[in-house]
Amino acid sequence: MLVNALPGGPVLRVDGSREISAELARTVSALCDEADSAGADYATLYVSGAPTPEAVAKVADVATVTKWERAVRRFERLRLPTLVAASGECGGTALDLLLAADVRVATPDLRLLLPFHEQGIWPGMATFRLTQQLGLAGARRMVLFGEPITAREALDRSLVDRVSTDPRRTLAAVARLLRRLSGPELAIRRQLAFDAEWMSFEDALGLHLAACDRSLRRTRLADGVTA
pTM: 0.85
Mean pLDDT of 14-36: 94
Residues in the chain: 227
194 and 163 together in one domain? no
Q: Identify whether residues 15 and 83 lie together within a single domain.
A: yes
CATH number at residue 83: 3.90.226.10
The alpha carbon of 119 is separated from its chain's Cα centroid by a whole number of angstroms, namely 27
In terms of domains, do 173 and 188 share one? no
> Looking at residue 49, what is its pLDDT?
97
Same domain? For 53 and 129 the reply is yes
In a domain? residue 135: yes
What value does the mean pLDDT take over residues 173-193? 78
Say yes or no: 47 and 128 in one domain: yes
> Do 101 and 205 have their domain in common?
no
Instruction: Report the pLDDT value the prediction gives residue 119, as an integer from 0 to 100.
Output: 78
User: Which tens digit of pLDDT belongs to each residue from 55-105?
Assistant: 888 888 999 999 999 999 999 999 888 999 999 999 999 999 999 999 999
The residue range of the domain holding 53 is 2-178
118 shares its domain with 38 = yes
The verdict on residue 172 lying in a domain is yes
In a shared domain, residues 33 and 108: yes
Are residues 84 and 188 both part of a single domain?
Answer: no
Q: Is the per-residue pLDDT at 23 higher than 90?
A: yes
User: Is 130 in the same domain as 149?
Assistant: yes
Assess whether 154 and 210 both reside in one domain: no
Enumerate residues 6+ apart whose C-beta is below 8 A from 131. Answer: 139, 143
CA distances from 159 to 64, 129, 135, 151, 200 (A): 27, 10, 12, 9, 25
| Parallel, antiparallel or unpaired: strands 149-150 and 111-113 | antiparallel
Mean pLDDT along residues 106-120: 90
71, 29 in Cβ contact below 8 A? yes
pLDDT (0 to 100) of residue 197 = 79
Q: Are residues 10 and 96 in the same domain?
A: yes
Which pLDDT belongs to residue 183?
A: 67
Residue 182's pLDDT band (cuts 50, 70, 90): low
Say if 227 falls within a structural domain: no
Using the Cα atoms of residue 116, residue 118, residue 121 and residue 123 in order, give the sign of their dihedral: negative
Overall number of domains in the chain: 2
What one-letter code names the amino acid at 66? T
Question: pLDDT-derived band of residue 2, with 50, 70 and 90 as boundaries?
Answer: very low
pLDDT in tens, 137-146: 999 999 888 8
pLDDT exceeding 90 applies to what percent of the chain?
Answer: 57
Coil, strand or helix: which one is 139? helix
**Rg of the chain over all Cα atoms, to the nearest angstrom:** 18
